[in-house]
Amino acid sequence: MRKVLVLNPIHPDGLARLAADPGVELVGPGDITPENLPGHLAGAEAIIVRGTAIDRPLLAQAQRLRLVVRHGVGYDSVDVPALQERGITLAITPEANALSVAEHTLMLMLSLSRQIARFNASVRSGAWVVPGQSPTRDLFGQTVLLLGFGRIGTRVAKLCAGFGMRVLVHDPAIPANTIRGLGFLPAPDRAAALAEAEIVSLHCPSNALTRNMVDDAFLAQMRPDALLINAARGTLVDEAALERALARGHLRGVGIDVIAEEPMREVPAFLAHERVLVTPHVAASTAEGLHRMALASADNVLQFFAGALSPEAIVTA
């Protein structure tokens, strides 16, 4: 029997898939308490995790551990070097949440373009006002720049194209012919593309090359009437620089699902601006998305034990 620890709540179907395997001893989140966690960690060969930090103190208690599965695609809370030192495999669920995040990205674009939050608040306060000159915008015909063209970025591109938008793509890892072949416009010169785009949407991982990429210089290159969308990682944005840009009236709006420090301990200053629309990192957390991620997490565990874990799911081995 291989002991599998599920540290945080996931969809019951994912737990059921693991429990149905006769070779798995499943310890679900309802079985775990602060008092018995060390004992469970000591025998665990695999862990599925959503929000719990996988750090060195936790790993020191899990000497039999061979696999960590992130329920999702981000692994900022996982100490990857510590896993590598131990030869522990880290896996993600790469396809499970891409559609949900792509749809959320379009929701942010639409909500900001049509100023849904402002109109909703106005009507609820008793003001039924139809502006003579509307400040809202159509998505049709607008130029959107996607920074990153992976599983989510490619889906966002297709959704934007469906709205009749002109789609620019900047991703040094993707050949221009590939972008062009899919019907979109490669934008190798990022600065020139930022100056052109009416909407800029981030779809990059957070790493040494991209962390705080949205800084003062980046924002200054954007059109003053542009929208900035971030449903990727909060650490892509220098939040102090964003606050400065908003304070001087730069940008038509900002739509974000992520902030630099999660969970939020203090409200970042830039969130005080009415032009900012924020959600609490829920882009992937639709009922369907959570179901897909739970099943994919369970499959990763079972495939790993069978020696058949998909290379696409492996971050490090």
Catalytic (active site) residue 233: yes
Catalytic-labelled residue, pool 223, 262, 273, 291 = 262
Return d(Cα 221, Cα 157) in angstroms, integer.
22
For 190-216, what is the mean pLDDT? Answer: 96
**From CA 97, how far away is CA 165, in angstroms rounded?**
23
Residues 270, 247: Cα–Cα separation, whole Å: 8
Task: Please say if the pLDDT value at position 135 is more than 90.
Answer: no
Q: Judge contact between 129 and 273, C-beta under 8 A.
A: no
Closest by alpha carbon to 313, among 6, 78, 70, 15? 70
Res. 7: pLDDT tops 90? yes
* pLDDT (mean) for 93-116: 96
Q: What pLDDT, on a 0 to 100 scale, did the predictor assign at position 76?
A: 84
Cβ proximity of 83 and 90 under 8 Å:
yes
pLDDT for 134 beyond 90: no
148 burial via Cβ count (<10 Å: 0-12, 13-18, 19+): buried
Residues 65 and 51: their CA atoms lie apart, in Å, by 18
**Section 293-300 average pLDDT:** 98
Residue recorded with tokens 């999702």: 72
Out of 68-77, 83-92, 100-109, 234-243, pick the least confident: 68-77
- CA–CA distance, 79 with 68 (Å, rounded to integer): 11
pLDDT in tens, 12-56: 999 999 999 999 999 999 999 999 999 999 999 999 999 899 999
> Can you tell me the distance from the alpha carbon of 241 to that of 214, in angstroms, rounded to the nearest whole number?
8
Amino acid 51: pLDDT = 85
pLDDT band at 124 (very low <50, low <70, confident <90, very high): very high
What is the percent of the chain where pLDDT is above 90? Answer: 94
3-state secondary structure at position 86: helix
Q: Which of 40, 155, 275, 281 is catalytic?
A: 281
To the query of whether residue 85 is one of the catalytic residues in this protein, the response is no
Please write the tens of the pLDDT for every residue from 141-168.
999 999 999 999 999 999 999 999 999 9
Which residue among 11, 233, 252, 292 is the active-site one?
233
The per-residue pLDDT for 74 is 85
Q: pLDDT tens digits for 266-284? A: 999 999 999 999 999 999 9
Q: Would you place residue 131 in the very low, low, confident or very high pLDDT band (cuts 50, 70, 90)?
A: confident
pLDDT interval class at 133 (50, 70, 90): confident
The reply to whether 281 belongs to the active site is: yes
Model pLDDT for residues 224-262, shown as the tens digit of each residue: 999 999 999 999 999 999 999 999 999 999 999 999 999
Give the tokens for residue 219.
């924002």
* Mean pLDDT, residues 274-298 taken together: 97
**Dihedral angle computed from the Cα positions of residues 168, 186, 156 and 142, in that order, rounded to the nearest 10 degrees:** 20
> Which H helix or E strand runs over 114?
helix 98-114
